[in-house]
Amino acid sequence: MVSDVPVGMFLSGGVDSSLLTALLAKESGGAALKTFTIGFDESEYNEASWAKKVAEHLGTEHTELYCRPSDAFDIIAKLPDIYDEPLGDASAVPTYLVSKLARTKVKVSLSADGGDEQFCGYNRYFMMNERIRRFATNPFLSLVSGALDYVSTDMAYAIYEKLSPILPRWNNFYDKFAKLKKVLKTKNRIAQYDLSNKYFIDEDVRSLGLERVSSQLVKFGREFENMNILDQMMYYDIKTYLPDDILVKVDRAGMSVALEGRDPFLDHKITEFAAALPLDLKYRGGVSKYILKKILYRHVPRELVDRPKQGFGVPVYEWFRDELKGCYYDHLAPDKIKREGVFDAAAVAGLLDAYMNGRGVNPYKLWFLFVFELWYEKYMA
C-alpha cells in the first residue's frame, strides 16, 4: 500500500483476493479501497456476484465490468503486441480488461497471485492426490491400465455416448481418455501431475508435425526427494506455472496500460513463511488453504468463503463455437497453415472440425494454435 499514487485491488471474490482486500481495507486509513472485478454472462465462469458481496461487506469502492465476445474480439488482436510471444493462457483477455478498467482510477493495483501455489489451493492438487491414493490401494486399476491398450479412443467414445445420460458431460472426452491411458502407465507421481496438466501429449505434438516437447521436470533432478505429493505439486507450480504463465500474464497486461502490479503473496517474507508451514495448515480434513480461511473468517461471513473454487476460467469453448468461430476459420485456414509450414495442415483441420462438431477435443488446443498464429502473422510472416 506504500505508494505516492492511488492503489487498487483486483478482487475475484475468492479466498486469496478477499483476504488481501480485507487486510488492505483495514489499513486504508478510512479511505475506501478501490476494487475491480471482471464478470462473464456465462454463469459457469462468473464470480462477479461473489466479488460484489465481498466488496459490499468490506465497504470498498467497487467497479465491475462484464467481458463479452465483442470485448474479447477487440482484445485478441492486441495479444501479440501485449505479450510479444504466443502466451496460451486465455485469461490474458480478462486480465487485460481488468487492468485497463483499474487504470481509469488507479496507477497501482494489487493482485492475489501465488496464494494457490503456496497454500495448496488448486483443485487439481486434491484430484491428483486422491487419484494416486486410489491407484496405490487398488490393484484392480493396474489391470484396467493394461486393458485400456485394447480400447481405441473411438470405441471408448461410442461407449461414453451410450452411457452419457448417467455420466458427466465432457466436451473434451477424446483428450481425457488419451491422457488417462498415459497417466495410468506413468509410475512417477510428479510426472503423472505434469502429464495431467498438458494439453498436447506427445502423440498430439507428433500429429501436428512437430518434434516431442521436453518436460520441465528434467530441470529438477533430486529436488522432489523427501516431499509428499502435495508439496511436490505446489513446488513444481511455484517454479514453472507461476513465473512462466501467471506472472507474465498479469505483469505485461498491466504494463500495456501503464498500471503497476504488485503481488503481496509473493513478498519474500510471505513466501518463506509459507514454505516453512506444515502441510496440515494448508490442507486439513479436505479443506484447502486452511490457514488463510481461518484468518478470512474474521473479516468476511463464512457463506462468502465456504463455496466451491472456480478459478479465473474463460468461456473459450462457448465463444469460439458461436460468435467468434470466424476467428478460428480465418486464422487456422488449411491453405494458410500449409503455406506457413509450421504445423501439419490436415491435423489442424481435423482438430478444428472435431471441435466445431463437439467431438471431444479440448477447446484450449484450438485456442493455443490460434494464439500462436496471431503471433506468427505479426512477427514471422
Instruction: Tell me the per-residue pLDDT of 172-187, one tens digit each, with 9 for 90 and over.
Output: 777 788 888 888 788 7
Once rounded to an integer, what is the mean pLDDT over residues 198-212? Answer: 89
- Per-residue model confidence as pLDDT tens digits over 74-101: 999 999 999 999 999 999 999 999 999 9
- Per-residue model confidence as pLDDT tens digits over 316-359: 989 999 999 999 999 999 999 999 999 999 999 999 999 998 87
- Calculated CA dihedral for residues 89, 248, 81, 87, nearest 10 degrees: -30
Max Cα separation, the chain? 67
Once rounded to an integer, what is the mean pLDDT over residues 225-232? Answer: 90
Q: What pLDDT is attached to residue 309?
A: 79
Q: What angle, rounded to 10 degrees, do the helices at 153-163 and 173-185 form? A: 120
Residue pair 324/135 in contact by the 8 Å Cβ criterion? no
Domain ranges of the chain: 7-120+248-304, 123-236, 316-379
Contacts of 289 (CB under 8 A, 6+ apart): 15, 16, 115, 116, 119, 120, 121, 282, 283
Question: pLDDT grade, residue 141 (50/70/90)?
Answer: low
Once rounded to an integer, what is the mean pLDDT over residues 122-148? Answer: 78
Start-to-end CA span in the chain (Å): 44
Is pLDDT at 1 greater than 60 in this prediction? no
Mean pLDDT of the chain: 90
More confident of the two residues 213 and 131: 131
pTM value? 0.91
Is pLDDT at 171 greater than 70 in this prediction? no
Q: What pLDDT is attached to residue 3?
A: 62
Q: What's phi and psi for 311, nearest 5 deg?
A: 80, 175
Once rounded to an integer, what is the mean pLDDT over residues 231-255? Answer: 97
Cα atoms found within 13 Å of the Cα of residue 55, Cβ hemisphere only: 23
Write down the CATH number for the domain with range 7-120+248-304. 3.40.50.620
**Which residue in the block uniquely carries the three cell numbers 526427494?**
225
Q: What pLDDT is attached to residue 152?
A: 78
d(CA 209, CA 216): 21
Residue pair 231/117 in contact by the 8 Å Cβ criterion? no
More confident of the two residues 336 and 2: 336
